[in-house]
Amino acid sequence: MTITDDLTDEYDALRTTVRDFAQSVVAPVAARHDADHTFPYEVIAQMGEMGLFGLPFPEEYGGGGGDYFALSLALEELGKVDQSVAITLEAGVGLGAMPIYRFGNEEQKRTWLPALAEGRALAGFGLTEPGAGSDAGATATTARLDGEEWVINGAKQFITNSGTDITSLVTVTAVTGTTENGRKQISTIVVPSGTSGFEVGKAYDKVGWNASDTHPLSFTDARVPRDNLLGERGRGYANFLSILDEGRIAIAALSTGVAQGCVDESVRYAKERQSFGKPIGDYQSVSFAIARMELRAHTARTAYYDAAARMLAGKPFKKEAAIAKVVASEAAMDNARVATQIHGGYGYMNEYPVARHYRDSKILEIGEGTTEVQLMLIARELGFR
């Protein structure tokens, strides 16, 4: 796949299927779940039956045998109508299941992946802490070996998919010792839901993503088997950084969907809404504003297609993923703001998709690496320190 090729029939069929599902199943209930702050279990179950949670995983682990670009296409279509549903899929696959697939041993994969890939279970990605966000190397959570068990103490925050009725595990980063040069040795450990000493805090009262599940987590002498170490001891931080590189492409795809969804809603409204005897779209100030929205959505799509193509080809993609995330998240935020303005008073009503996008989109510039972190990564790739 290159950014100039038409999508293959398989990709195009997937995109069409998810688009139809998003419009006919997700969109009609999005406002209700947002207003009620309820997790859309019935929607997530249908997504599992469709195989969306298993798109990039091999069939032997319950997946669909696809790739990360297929996941990105699905996220773009879902992002057009409901960011909460889209981020549940993105986090469930990219942050929840992918660490198990990338770094787990065969037993761990066969134990955890099938339910995650089939959407029967969700997993969280326990990286961020009260004192360690962008600087994830400042991790304070600890894990020490006591015989054949890890004893974990610490706290995580802003963890997506961590407290649902179908959450099966959280993979956490923890300090498991020190390196030869005195730095923290950070490893990743799988903590199953229900583990004694592992507590899921009250759900956050958020500005947006109200139907997405997000909680703080605490660990007080939480014990898990020694075999729950995920990947090589001391490689947890590096492994999670690689997961975030991939995840930035997924977030860029979701953001592109938001940007395009705002275009679609604005085109529809501008053709229907009358002002001074004619549709508001006949006024150049409105049509040009929507044209610029389309420009941003197209540019965002081109950026994430390029990053995904490089990743699938086995080429370095860290810089391109960072570029895609910045371009797409800013496009989502800008388009949501303009779409709300075009809708006037209706754009401030939560029943309208553009109002929800306006509230939801800011986090796209923060989650999975802030814009500032992306700029730092891009600058480093250009040779700056």
- Looking at residue 382, its amino acid is L
Alpha-helical regions (H) of 57-135: 68-79, 83-90, 98-103, 106-117
Q: Quick one: average pLDDT of 64-87?
A: 97
Residue 135 in domain: yes
Return the minimum-mean-pLDDT range out of 105-119, 133-147, 340-354: 133-147
| pLDDT mean across residues, the chain | 95
- Give me the catalytic one of 232, 365, 368, 372: 368
Q: Quick one: average pLDDT of 331-336?
A: 98
Q: pLDDT (tens digit, 9 = 90+) per residue, 152-206?
A: 999 999 999 999 999 999 999 999 999 888 889 999 999 999 999 999 999 999 9
Q: Which of 67, 99, 121 corresponds to the end of one domain?
A: 121
Residue 6's pLDDT is 65
Residue 75 in domain: yes
Residue 326 in domain: yes
Residue 136's pLDDT is 66
265 is catalytic: no
Tell me: do 328 and 264 sit in the same domain: yes
Residue 41 in domain: yes
Residue 181 in domain: yes
Per the CB < 8 A criterion, the answer to whether 181 and 214 are in contact is: no
Residue 325's pLDDT is 98
Tell me: do 68 and 117 sit in the same domain: yes
Q: pLDDT (tens digit, 9 = 90+) per residue, 260-301?
A: 999 999 999 999 999 999 999 999 999 999 999 999 999 999
Residue 82 in domain: yes
Per the CB < 8 A criterion, the answer to whether 177 and 161 are in contact is: no
Residue 2 in domain: no
Supply the DSSP string of 249-271, one letter for each residue.
HHHHHHHHHHHHHHHHHHHHHHH
Domain interval for residue 253:
238-381
Measure Cα distances from 175 to 103, 155, 234 in Å.
Answer: 18, 12, 8
Q: Quick one: average pLDDT of 365-369?
A: 93
Tell me: do 245 and 333 sit in the same domain: yes
370/56 Cα distance (integer angstroms): 25
Q: Which of 99, 121, 143 corresponds to the end of one domain?
A: 121
Q: Which two tokens mark 69?
A: 């670009």
The answer, yes or no, to whether residue 1 has pLDDT greater than 50, is no
Q: Quick one: average pLDDT of 337-341?
A: 98
Q: Quick one: average pLDDT of 295-321?
A: 97
Measure Cα distances from 150 to 40, 178, 189, 226, 229 in Å.
Answer: 34, 16, 9, 6, 9
CATH assignment of the domain containing 204: 2.40.110.10
Tell me: do 345 and 318 sit in the same domain: yes
Listed residue (53, 192, 38, 194) closest to 126, CA to CA: 192
Residue 180's pLDDT is 82
Residue 179's pLDDT is 85
- The number of distinct structural domains making up the chain is 3
73/250 Cα distance (integer angstroms): 9
Return the minimum-mean-pLDDT range out of 107-121, 124-138, 178-192, 245-259: 124-138
- Residue 218's contacts (CB-CB under 8 Å, 6 or more residues apart) are 154, 155, 156, 198, 199, 201
Residue 385 in 3-state DSSP?
coil
Tell me: do 89 and 217 sit in the same domain: no
**CA triplet 188, 220, 38: central angle to 5 degrees?**
80
The answer, yes or no, to whether residue 358 has pLDDT greater than 60, is yes
Tell me: do 93 and 225 sit in the same domain: no
Secondary structure percentages of the chain, helix, strand, coil, to 5: 55, 15, 25
CATH assignment of the domain containing 67: 1.10.540.10
Tell me: do 224 and 258 sit in the same domain: no
Residue 188 in 3-state DSSP?
strand
Burial class of 243 by CB neighbour count within 10 A (0 to 12, 13 to 18, 19+): buried
Tell me: do 86 and 169 sit in the same domain: no
The answer, yes or no, to whether residue 115 has pLDDT greater than 90, is yes
The DSSP call for residue 39 is -
Tell me: do 135 and 16 sit in the same domain: no
Tell me: do 34 and 149 sit in the same domain: no
Q: Which of 209, 235, 261 corresponds to the end of one domain?
A: 235
Q: Facing residues of 278 across strands?
A: 275
97 compared with 131, residue with greater pLDDT: 97
Residue 241's pLDDT is 87
Alpha-helical regions (H) of 22-64: 27-36, 41-50
Residue 139 in domain: yes
96/249 Cα distance (integer angstroms): 16
Tell me: do 85 and 134 sit in the same domain: no
Tell me: do 212 and 253 sit in the same domain: no
CATH assignment of the domain containing 363: 1.20.140.10
pLDDT category of residue 3 using cuts at 50, 70 and 90: very low
Residue 67's pLDDT is 95
| Largest Cα–Cα separation, the chain | 79
